[in-house]
C-alpha cells in the first residue's frame, strides 16, 4: 500500500514540472514587448545572487525613463542570512520568479543579475504559468539554468541578454547602446525572420566548416558553459541534437574548461550538435591563452561534421548579443549574422 501511494505522488510531481511535454515539439516564441518608449510592463526578480544596495532602484528609474512600467517581485532586493551569496532563501527566490510568471500585467521579466543560485530553484518553478502565458524572460550567466529549464519544461523560448543592475546593464553606470538595442529588438514587435548582425568591432574566425558550409541552421542554445554542465543528467536539460551551441564563461581556468568540454563529449552532447560558436572566456590571468586554445580544444572534442567558430560577441562583456534560447536560427558564419525564424508573437 505504501509503495502504491508513493508512486501516485511521483506521477503528480512529474506532471507538475512538465515532464509530459513533447520534447520534439518546436519551442514557442513569447509575445512581444512594445518597442522602446511605447510602454509595456517589465518585472524585475533576483533568482540568483543579491544586488548591491540601490542598484534595483536605479534599474527601475532607467526602465521608467525608457517608457516602461516596472513591477518589482518580492525578495528582489533580499539577501539570505545563512548563505549571503543568495538573494534570499530558495523558497523566496522561487516565489519572486513565480510571482512574475503568474502576474497578468507583466509583459517581460528581466533578471537583476547572475551570480549563483538559479539551479537551486528549478524544481520550485511554475513552468505551466510560462507555457500558458509566454512572455520574454531575460538574463544570462547563472540565469542560463532557468533558460534551459524553460526550454525543456515549458517549451518556451527565453532570452540570453543583458540584465538590470550590472555596470553595463540597463540600470548600470555605463550601459552599452548596442547591447540594449539588441535586447529591445529581439524581444520586441516585428515580423519574422529577424536578423541580428555582429557589432562592428566583432570579427568571427572560422576554424572548421562542418556539414553546413557557410550557413548553419538549427535550434540556437547560447549558454554559460558551467551552467550547461550543471544540468547534464537532469530533466531541465533540453535536447541539443542538431543545435548550434554558443558557449561562454567567466573566471574559469583553461583546464577547467577542458574538463567541462570533456564531460560534454563523454555524455554525447558534442557528438549531436551541428556547431559550436565560441564567445568570450574571461576573468582570469590567462584570458588570451584560453581564447587562443579553445578553438583547437573544441575541434579535438567534436566530429568533423561540427562547425567551429570563434569571436562571437557573447559572454561577460559590455557589448554583446541578446540571443533567443532554443529558437530556430539560420547562421551565416561568413557574415557573422543570426536570422531567427518563427511565428510573429501575439
Residues annotated as catalytic are 141, 248, 316
- Phi/psi of residue 152, nearest 5 degrees: -75, -40
- Phi/psi of residue 252, nearest 5 degrees: -110, 125
- Phi/psi of residue 49, nearest 5 degrees: -85, 165
Q: Could you tell me where the beta strands, DSSP code E, fall in 201-306?
A: 205-208, 215-224, 244-250, 275-282
**DSSP characters over 33-55:** BPPTTS--EEEEE-SSSPPPTTH
SS3 of residue 6 by DSSP? helix
CA–CA dist 146, 100 (Å, integer): 14
Who contacts 79 (Cβ-Cβ below 8 Å, separation ≥6)? 50, 86, 87, 88
Question: 230: which strand partners?
Answer: none
CB-count burial class (<10 Å; 0-12, 13-18, 19+) for 88: buried
Taking alpha carbons only, the member of 343, 285, 282, 272 closest to residue 314 is 282
CA–CA dist 211, 228 (Å, integer): 24
- Cα 175 from chain centroid (whole Å): 19
CB 152 within 8 A of CB 235: yes
Amino acid at each position: 500500500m505504501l509503495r502504491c501511494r508513493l508512486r501516485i505522488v511521483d506521477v503528480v510531481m512529474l506532471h507538475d514540472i512538465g515532464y509530459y511535454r513533447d520534447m520534439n515539439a518546436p519551442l514557442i516564441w513569447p509575445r512581444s514587448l512594445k518597442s522602446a518608449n511605447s510602454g509595456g510592463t517589465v518585472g524585475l526578480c533576483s533568482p540568483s545572487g543579491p544586488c548591491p544596495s540601490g542598484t534595483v532602484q536605479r534599474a527601475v528609474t532607467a526602465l521608467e525613463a525608457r517608457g516602461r512600467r516596472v513591477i518589482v517581485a518580492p525578495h528582489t532586493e533580499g539577501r539570505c542570512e545563512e548563505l549571503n551569496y543568495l538573494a534570499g532563501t530558495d523558497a523566496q527566490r522561487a516565489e519572486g520568479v513565480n510571482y512574475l510568471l503568474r502576474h497578468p500585467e507583466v509583459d517581460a521579466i528581466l533578471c537583476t543579475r547572475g551570480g549563483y543560485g538559479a539551479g537551486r530553484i528549478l524544481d520550485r518553478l511554475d513552468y505551466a504559468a510560462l507555457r500558458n502565458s509566454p512572455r520574454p524572460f531575460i538574463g544570462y550567466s547563472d540565469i542560463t539554468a532557468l533558460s534551459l529549464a524553460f526550454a525543456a519544461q515549458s517549451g518556451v523560448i527565453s532570452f540570453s541578454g543583458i540584465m538590470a543592475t550590472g555596470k553595463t546593464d540597463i540600470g548600470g553606470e555605463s550601459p552599452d547602446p548596442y547591447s540594449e538595442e539588441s535586447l529591445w529588438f529581439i524581444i520586441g514587435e516585428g515580423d519574422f525572420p529577424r536578423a541580428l548582425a555582429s557589432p562592428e568591432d566583432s570579427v568571427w574566425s572560422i576554424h572548421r566548416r562542418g556539414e553546413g558550409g557557410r550557413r548553419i541552421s538549427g535550434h540556437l542554445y547560447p549558454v554559460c558553459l558551467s551552467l550547461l554542465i550543471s544540468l547534464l543528467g537532469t530533466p531541465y536539460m533540453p535536447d541539443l541534437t542538431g543545435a548550434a551551441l554558443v558557449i561562454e564563461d567567466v573566471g574559469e581556468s583553461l583546464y577547467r574548461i577542458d574538463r567541462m568540454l570533456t564531460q560534454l563529449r563523454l555524455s554525447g552532447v558534442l557528438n549531436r550538435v551541428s556547431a559550436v560558436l565560441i564567445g568570450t572566456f574571461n576573468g582570469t590571468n590567462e584570458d588570451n591563452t584560453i581564447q587562443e586554445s579553445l578553438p583547437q580544444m573544441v575541434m579535438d572534442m567534436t566530429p568533423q561534421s561540427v562547425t567551429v567558430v570563434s569571436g562571437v560577441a557573447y559572454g561577460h562583456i559590455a557589448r554583446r548579443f541578446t540571443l533567443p534560447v532554443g529558437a530556430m536560427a539560420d547562421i551565416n558564419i561568413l557574415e557573422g549574422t543570426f536570422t531567427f525564424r518563427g511565428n510573429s508573437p501575439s
